[in-house]
């Protein structure tokens, strides 16, 4: 009697395990399909990050380019410098406004 009940329980467990494995395979396939949608933006972010890391490891190249721009086109360099500085100050103000605790 107990042996028969154990066999039924074992069969139920095996069926449940098979259903769970099937469901897991379906979920993996669904996740893989969903991940394809965001793959392109993630690749762009990775490319930008590796470019920034390269610039941080090789600071001489952007410094030389900036120096050349200042020597060849000083007005344009000054204009862009003012714009960048104004953008940086605006960014700092917005960041301070957003992260100031409300009293």
CB-based contact 77:69 (threshold 8 Å): yes
- Distance of alpha carbon 54 from alpha carbon 47, whole angstroms: 11
Residues 29-85 have pLDDT tens digits of: 998 888 888 888 889 999 999 999 999 999 999 899 889 988 999 999 999 999 999
Give the residue carrying structure tokens 């769970």. Answer: 20
- Say which residue the tokens 């399909």 belong to: 33
**What average pLDDT score do residues 15-36 get?**
91
């Amino acid at each position: 009697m107990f042996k028969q009940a154990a066999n039924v329980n074992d069969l139920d467990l095996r069926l449940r395990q098979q259903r769970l494995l099937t469901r897991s395979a379906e979920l993996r396939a669904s996740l893989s399909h969903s991940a394809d949608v965001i793959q392109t933006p993630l690749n762009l972010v990775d490319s930008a990050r590796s470019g920034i890391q390269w610039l941080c490891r090789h600071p001489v190249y952007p410094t030389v380019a900036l120096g050349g721009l200042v020597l060849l086109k000083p007005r344009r360099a000054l204009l862009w410098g003012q714009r960048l500085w104004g953008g940086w100050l605006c960014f700092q103000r917005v960041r301070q406004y957003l992260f100031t605790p409300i009293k």
